[in-house]
Amino acid sequence: MREHSYLGEFELMVLLTILHLGDEAYGVPLARELAIRRGREVAVGSVYASLDRLEIKGLIASSLGESTPERGGRAKRYFRVTDQGLQAVHETRRVLSKLWKSLPTMGEDLA
């Protein structure tokens, strides 16, 4: 696999939330679902900043939907995880799993 940028915790959560939402992955629902999963509020601005970074890295792609009167004629910007983004998610999971498995058990050094 081609070397990729390190995924930070929030970026990984955003990617996983996009995968979870599928075709309905756009700004406000992304922030709402992420807040539910994290158990605390998420600023929509931080979600959009992360989406911009992830798109620049090539880990997600976006497309505009139809404009809607409810949004003042503006279109929703939908997001999907690219193949490169999916590889980054799997690689991050693999590395984190190895790190977790390498920790001493609770009765040993961490108690």
For residue 42, being part of any structural domain is answered with yes
Domain assignment of residue 3, yes or no: no
Over range 45-50, report the average pLDDT: 94
Q: What average pLDDT does range 34-63 have in this prediction?
A: 94
Beta bridge partners of 80: 61
d(CA 9, CA 26): 19
Task: Using DSSP, state whether 71 is helix, strand or coil.
Answer: helix
**What dihedral do alpha carbons 45, 47, 52, 57 form, nearest 10°?**
150
Is residue 23 included in any domain, yes or no?
Answer: yes
- Rounded to an integer, what distance in angstroms lies between the CA atom of residue 75 and that of residue 65? 5
Q: pLDDT value at position 1?
A: 41
Residue 34: inside a domain: yes
pTM, 2 dp: 0.80
Q: Note the pLDDT of residue 96.
A: 86
Which of 1-15, 26-40, 58-72, 76-90 shows the lowest mean pLDDT across its residues? 1-15
* pLDDT at 108 > cutoff 60: no
Domain extent at residue 87: 9-102
pLDDT digits (tens, 9 = 90+) for 70-106: 666 678 899 999 999 999 999 998 988 888 888 887 6
Q: What is the pLDDT of residue 25?
A: 92
pLDDT at residue 4 in the model: 53
What span, in angstroms and rounded, lies between the C-alpha atoms of 91 and 107?
29
**Count: domains in the chain:** 1
Q: Evaluate whether residue 4 is within a structural domain.
A: no
Tell me, what CATH number does 64's domain have? 1.10.10.10
